[in-house]
Amino acid sequence: MILVFASAANIFSKPVLTSLLVGGLLAGLPLMFTALGETISERAGVLNLGLEGMMLAGAYTGFLGAYYLHSATVGFVFGALGGMIGALFMVVLCVWLGLDQIVVGIAITLAGEGLTSVLQGAQFGTTYPRLGAPTLASIPLLDRIPVVGPSLFNQPPIAYVCFVLAGLMFWAFRSTNIGLNLKAAGEKPEALDAAGVSVIATRSWAALATGALAGVGGAYLSIVAAGVFTPMMTQGQGYMAIVIAMLARGKPIWVVGASFLFGISLSIATALQLAGINISTDLINMLPFLTIMVALIIFGRRAYLPPGLAVPYVRGMR
Amino acid sequence: MNEAGQARSAAASTTPAVELVSISKAFPGVQANDNVSVSLYSGEIHCLLGENGAGKSTLMGILAGMQQPDSGHIRVAGQEVVITSPRTALDYGIGTVYQHSTLVGALTVVENLILGESRALRLNVSRATERLSEFSAMLGVEIDPNALTSDLALGRQQQVEIIKALWRGSRVLILDEPTSMLTPQAVTELQVVLNRLREAGLAVVFITHKLHEAVALSDRISVLRQGRVIGTIDREQVRESSPDELESAIVHLMFGDTLEDASAPELHIAIEEREPGSAAPADTVVDSDGAAVALELNDARVRGDGSQPGLDGVSLQLRFGEVLGIAGVDGNGQRALAEAISGQRRLTHGQISFLGAPVASLSVWQREKLGLRYVTDDRLGEGIVRSLPVSVNLVLKRIGHAPYWRRGQVKRDAIDRNARELVEQFDIRTPSIDTRAGTLSGGNIQKLLLARELTGEAKVVVFHKPTYGLDLKTTRTVRNMIKGLRDGKAALLISTDLDELLECADRIAVLSRGKVVGIVENGPGAAEQIGRLMIGDVSLGLAAA
Amino acid sequence: MSDGVIPAHPTDVVENVPPPVGDNRQERLPRSRRAAALRDTLIRSVVPVILALVAGGVLLLILGTNPLKFYASVWQNGVQNGSWQDSAMLAAPLLLIAVGLILIFRANIWQLGYDGQYLLAAVLVTGLGPHITGLPSVVFWLVLFLLTALVGAIWTLVPALLKAYYETNEIITTLMMSFVGIDLANILVKGPFQDPTVNIPQTRTIPSNLMLPSIPGTRVDIGVIVAVIAPFLAYWLLTRTAFGLRLHVLGANPRAASHVGINVKRLIINSFLISGAFVGLSAFVDILGVWGYVRSNWNPAYGDTVIPFVFLARLNPLAVIPFIAFFAILSNGGDLAAANTNVPTDFLLVLVALILLFMTVIEYFGRQRDLGQSYLPPGLKQVFSRPIIPRRRGTREVNS
């Protein structure tokens, strides 16, 4: 009884709380990048089931960039390019040629998994070289907030980029022509076409942006989170990002919140270990998925998807 | 017609605003346009009149940039141009209002208007709102700029579409079947709007297959048939002729020699398996007038789809030997009514009785077996499975049941025999009974559905927009079949086509927002009463019932 | 509908329809058309595989491996010297999963929870199997046969109910349930089912006398026979029974399904349960035929590699047999070949991805030339557009 009480108290102790918050934030970042990306293309009517593959491509190329050129920034740029290469297949095969988005998406995921593993093997054999610890940037003033300040506002710069991005998307979706075009491309592509804006171009750029963001998300995993590239290191996070995007109903702010929650459940293991509680990691891994299932059962709600999603656009076709 | 307006526009119409010269366009198996030439003048309303499939929409699709012609060319203000996309069409000042809404329902009115308007990053909502109010004033309409377009009434949506087509300063406006979804009152409103556009000096083209609209609205009428322009009645002739003369001239052009043929009741299908004269089973309920009640709805309530109304307490009686019409603007609960009766939708309240027995808890199949049938309006969407052969589509409502299935296993011989009989009896034009149903024409698909629903022990049949989109000949056939049900059976005819109801029904109930707002005996003056009921003029309402 | 604007593109949905399942109409086509259809099907199915092998060969060259040597090694290690027997045993669970997927994909339902269903069934077999004693072995197998089918089916129940009653997107729910199932399987392996006598967390091993016996004269266990019967059973279900036709109607046009009086909710739930049961059975033949125990964190992810072949076979349960055989040989021989030639085994994933990509491209050209039928039911795409929004009623008028 006393023991239980003591450990319960420990859960709310300062180090546990901060590690939970910060850990959740950091673990949620790759999801956030990727899910934000998916939000863009889903809004435009492209369903990207290849996220997992694009993340892996980004993780691999990002790692290469950071490893050979000794710069995390270069690494992220490479990561974005890697993800875009994956997205290019999506653009050409699905957006331009109107082939099936589901099948191509699965193919991109398989190819991403296979190719990065093969290339990593060909390049480094069975060794896994590591990167140095990422440099952190703290935000003046905010990092002086007691308790959470020092750890929350002292992060790798890419973390801030992610939040700025989310804010930017929020603004773009609401009050720019780009946001309007994207929404029309997903809701009713023929209306966008009739208004004289190319649906194909809109969707292509959306798909490429998704690839870039998924690539950055993957690169985050290899450059910042792990400091190393290992095959299959995304472990289903691409699929989680799809789920987050679907549940967030295209709203960037919800994506941020949901990714954060997922991140917390991913990082809860560390926090609990700090608190001296030994819980099976499998159980903790299960939590986010269980949460979603429970939410779906309770609310019984349908994840909203634009009507034009995954339907190729051909002018004049009804 | 406004004399001053005519005079003004006559002066403007010297060179055509747009000329379509020798346009030809073929699709696999169809010559949609065959060497068509049409000229459009400013300050003039030009009507393209023709039956379904005459090539009107294709022609305008070419002008609007949705399709490319195989040959021929287009001149705008005397200059030859090539219109490669909707955008180029807009650049040449050609705006289009399509038959199907091109508004994005999830966007507001203003957002829809500025969609694609500018390459700038920021949306300029306030300037757009101002422009919208200018347009509203010009057309004499009132539109909330921040309403979601999906929340607007259809007539209002169409006004937004017109403004959208004119938004970038178009001088030519194409309207594709603009009245097909409107109430009679909204049609009058549209007429006012069009006249204002003509006075503003625009060239307006509208496509229709309704004769009286063409006569009532236009300055110039081109009649299309089978992809060709078979005649143009120019403005002098339109002005000088009386509406009746005009109509007969047009009818002659449109149908010429085929008219006799089409009006002949060449396909009277006797519904078999019941000896004539046996009006109803002996133990049926009888209404106050002494006629047997076939189907009765008692305070039936049903949920609607999304924002559309369902049924909000509908009570109706359908007697044997009658056709009861249901009038109303689309989206006022027609689908809910049909599906509640067929069993596709559960009642939340009330009861449905068939032959005196409650059926609200029975499944679609059980009702089907009792003889309660439903011919859906959504023939492709739910009526047939396109990828399945005609023969299987003909037994689709009897899957798993004898004689076509025994112990869960298919009996192909029985299915094929049934199909051959029905194809013959209902004159379904299909290459074979194994042809995929999706490749049949609309008319033949409808015949397939009729064959499926009218066979067996059909007693009461619900028809939902049974002739929508069909050619003249099939329309006649279908209407004759409906009227044929008076012989001992009963029909509920849900239609948005008032002419159809007046032709077929004995009584006509008007459905508005999920309620029956009145029932009118068919006869002189019925049309006007129905029109008033549709717009909610209750003063007349229940007295007529 | 007025002038029925005819699609400017020859790829009308009408053309992209699966073969009529309820009825094997091909029997009635004239011989020449049948031959042409067969040729087209072959082109669409085999050419992507060949192209993928060629492109994969180029990749091997770049990696510094002789592709001919690699493929020869695959053949040696996958077929020759009796290794075909291992390939056959590998094919058995793949076939059962393929059948499970085909049945539900026909209904246009996108059940992707196979990994969790398979692993849970596998773990329960190994966890409970050793405790079931005193039964004749035939009864023992029967009990476990039913158990695996039941476990697989039960694990689809929540997505099935959510789909049937709330139209909740089944891709999300089955994937989530799959992840939960995988973790749950691990918890079981590391917890109640762990073999206390071994250091590595793994379940107890099924005694060898309770493993499925071999077909006389081979090493191949009789589970393979079960697996080969399954596609025929599925074919019969799809082409001959009312259930099969109902699945087809639901898949091709869900609104028509409710219009014609099919109990859609019940059909959705049934198709989930049947699909899950077949996936569960794959664990039965795999564990009792080959492995005998399950290690923690073990996940062969059979389903991911099966999916491409399910598409290649155009959701035809008989046509999937040769494809699965091909993949089993490739996979079984490829593992050893990769080790021999120093290529990472994940190269096989690249091959599968290439097959998929080429398949879609061939599909594109096929559509241009109107080759045979498509591999996907047209409505499959609509799985992603829930809530079901009434679409434009597409129409295409042909000779009135």
Rounded to 5 degrees, φ, ψ at A99 are: -80, 170
Chain B: give the shortest CA distance to residue A150, in Å: 37
In a domain, A265, yes or no: no
Q: Do A197 and B111 touch (CB under 8 A)?
A: no
| Beta carbons of B323 and B493 less than 8 angstroms apart | yes
Within an 8 Å CB–CB cutoff, is residue C232 touching chain A? no
Rounded to whole angstroms, how far apart are CA atoms C129 and B295?
61
Chain B residue at shortest CA distance from A314: B66
Lowest pLDDT segment from A277-291, B260-274, B352-366, C311-325: B260-274
- C370 sits in the region (left: phi over 0; alpha: psi -120 to 50; else beta) called left
In a domain, A230, yes or no: yes
Residue range B96-104: mean pLDDT, rounded: 81
Query: Euclidean distance between the first and final Cα of chain B, in Å?
Result: 37
ipTM of the complex: 0.77
In a domain, A217, yes or no: yes
Output the average pLDDT for chain B. Answer: 82
Within an 8 Å CB–CB cutoff, is residue A108 touching chain C? yes
| Per-window interface: C 233-252 vs B, CB < 8 A | 240-243, 245-246, 248-249, 252
Q: Specify the number of domains making up chain C.
A: 1
- For residue B403, is the peptide bond before it cis, meaning its omega torsion is within 30 degrees of 0? yes
How confident is the model at residue C11, as a pLDDT? 31
In a domain, A219, yes or no: yes
How confident is the model at residue B535, as a pLDDT? 64
Chain C residues lying within 8 Å of B177, measured CB to CB: 2
Within an 8 Å CB–CB cutoff, is residue A298 touching chain C? no
Nearest to A247 by CA among A233, A265, A261, A264: A261
Rounded to whole angstroms, how far apart are CA atoms A274 and C311?
48
Cβ contacts of residue C268 below 8 Å, gap of 6+? C107, C109, C160, C163, C164, C250
Residue range B125-132: mean pLDDT, rounded: 89
| Per-window interface: A 171-230 vs C, CB < 8 A | none
* Least CB–CB distance from C261: residue in B29, B397, B408: B397
All chains having 3 or more CB pairs closer than 8 angstroms to chain B: A, C
Q: Do A188 and B61 touch (CB under 8 A)?
A: no
Within an 8 Å CB–CB cutoff, is residue C9 touching chain A? yes
How confident is the model at residue C24, as a pLDDT? 40
A316 or B74, greater pLDDT: B74
| Strand-pair category, B323-327 with B507-512 | parallel
Chain A residue at shortest CA distance from C341: A122
In a domain, C94, yes or no: yes
All chains having 3 or more CB pairs closer than 8 angstroms to chain C: A, B
How confident is the model at residue B142, as a pLDDT? 84
Chosen from B63, B88, B91, B104 to mutate, greatest number of chain A CBs within 10 A: B104
What is chain B's Cα-based Rg? 25
In a domain, C5, yes or no: no
How confident is the model at residue C19, as a pLDDT? 39
Chain B residues lying within 8 Å of C262, measured CB to CB: 399
* Least CB–CB distance from B344: residue in C23, C245, C258: C258
In a domain, C398, yes or no: no
Q: Do A99 and C349 touch (CB under 8 A)?
A: no
How confident is the model at residue B136, as a pLDDT? 87
CATH code of the region B3-256: 3.40.50.300
Chain B residues lying within 8 Å of C240, measured CB to CB: 409-410
Within an 8 Å CB–CB cutoff, is residue C3 touching chain B? yes
A131 or C398, greater pLDDT: A131
Q: Where are the alpha helices (DSSP H) in B326-411?
A: 334-342, 364-370, 390-393
| Per-window interface: C 36-65 vs A, CB < 8 A | 59, 63-64
pLDDT digits (tens, 9 = 90+) for B480-502: 999 999 988 999 999 987 888 98
Tally DSSP H helices, then E strands, for chain B. 19, 22
Chain C: give the shortest CA distance to residue B417, in Å: 15
Q: Where are the domains of chain B?
A: 3-256, 289-371+459-545, 378-456
In a domain, A115, yes or no: yes
Domain that holds residue A152: 34-126+139-252
Within an 8 Å CB–CB cutoff, is residue C200 touching chain B? no
E strand spans, B1-70: 18-27, 30-40, 44-50
Chain C residues lying within 8 Å of A239, measured CB to CB: 175
Q: Specify the number of domains making up chain A.
A: 1
Element (H, E) at C392: none
In a domain, C342, yes or no: yes
On the 0-12 / 13-18 / 19+ scale of CB atoms within 10 A, B363 is middle
pLDDT digits (tens, 9 = 90+) for C114-148: 999 999 999 999 999 888 878 888 999 999 999 99
B116 pLDDT above the threshold of 90: no
DSSP string of chain A?
A: -HHHHHHHHHHTSHHHHHHHHHHHHHHHHHHHHHHHHHHHHHHTT---TTHHHHHHHHHHHHHHHHHHH--HHHHHHHHHHHHHHHHHHIIIIIIIT---HHHHHHHHHHHHHHHHHHHHHHHHTT----PPPPP-EE-TTGGGSTTTHHHHTEE-HHHHHHHHHHHHHHHHHHHBHHHHHHHHHHH-HHHHHHTT--HHHHHHHHHHHHHHHHHHHHHIIIIIIISS--TTTTTTHHHHHHHHHHHTTT-HHHHHHHHHHHHHHHHHHHHHHHTT----HHHHHHHHHHHHHHHHHHH-PPPP--TTTT----TT--
| Beta carbons of B222 and B193 less than 8 angstroms apart | no
Please report, for the domain that includes residue C214, its CATH number: 1.10.3470
How confident is the model at residue A169, as a pLDDT? 94
Question: For the sheet containing B228-233, what is the strand order?
Answer: B94-97, B172-176, B203-208, B44-50, B220-225, B228-233
Count of CB pairs separated by less than 8 Å, A with C:
189
| Beta carbons of B89 and B83 less than 8 angstroms apart | yes
Q: Which two tokens stand for residue A187?
A: 């809701």
Give me the percent of chain B exceeding a pLDDT of 70. Answer: 86
| Per-window interface: A 73-92 vs B, CB < 8 A | none
Residue range B359-379: mean pLDDT, rounded: 92
Chain C residues lying within 8 Å of B30, measured CB to CB: 6, 397
Tens digit of each residue's pLDDT, chain A (318 residues): 344 444 445 555 666 677 777 778 888 899 999 999 999 998 898 888 899 999 999 999 999 999 999 888 999 999 999 999 999 998 988 888 877 787 788 889 888 988 898 888 888 877 788 877 777 766 666 666 666 666 666 778 888 889 899 999 999 998 899 999 999 988 888 888 877 788 888 999 999 999 999 999 999 999 988 888 988 888 888 888 888 888 787 889 989 988 888 888 777 766 776 676 767 778 877 887 887 788 777 765 555 566 666 666 665 543
Chosen from C166, C294, C346 to mutate, greatest number of chain A CBs within 10 A: C346
Question: Which residues does residue B297 pair with via DSSP β-bridges, in sequence order?
Answer: B316, B352
Within an 8 Å CB–CB cutoff, is residue B61 touching chain C? yes
Lowest pLDDT segment from B42-56, B351-365, C250-264: B42-56
Displacement of CA C26 from its chain's centroid (Å)? 24
In a domain, C87, yes or no: yes
Distances (CA, A) of A205 to A172, A181, B312, C237: 15, 11, 47, 45
Within an 8 Å CB–CB cutoff, is residue A193 touching chain B? yes
Chosen from A176, A178, A193 to mutate, greatest number of chain B CBs within 10 A: A193
- Written as one letter, the residue type at C65 is T
In a domain, C397, yes or no: no
Domain that holds residue C355: 13-19+29-381
Question: Which residues does residue B96 pair with via DSSP β-bridges, in sequence order?
Answer: B174
Count of CB pairs separated by less than 8 Å, A with B:
70
Rounded to whole angstroms, how far apart are CA atoms B532 and C339?
84
How confident is the model at residue B430, as a pLDDT? 87
Chain B residues lying within 8 Å of C391, measured CB to CB: 381
Within an 8 Å CB–CB cutoff, is residue A280 touching chain C? yes
pLDDT digits (tens, 9 = 90+) for B439-466: 888 888 999 999 999 988 889 999 999 9
Q: Do B121 and A190 touch (CB under 8 A)?
A: no
Q: Do C260 and B438 touch (CB under 8 A)?
A: no
Identify the CATH assignment for B289-371+459-545 out of 3.40.50.300, 3.40.50.2300, 3.40.50.10420, 3.40.50.80: 3.40.50.300
In a domain, A240, yes or no: yes
B397 pLDDT above the threshold of 80: yes
Q: Do B116 and A190 touch (CB under 8 A)?
A: no
In a domain, C201, yes or no: yes
Cβ contacts of residue A55 below 8 Å, gap of 6+? A30, A34, A83, A112, A214, A215, A217, A218, A221, A234, A237, A238, A241
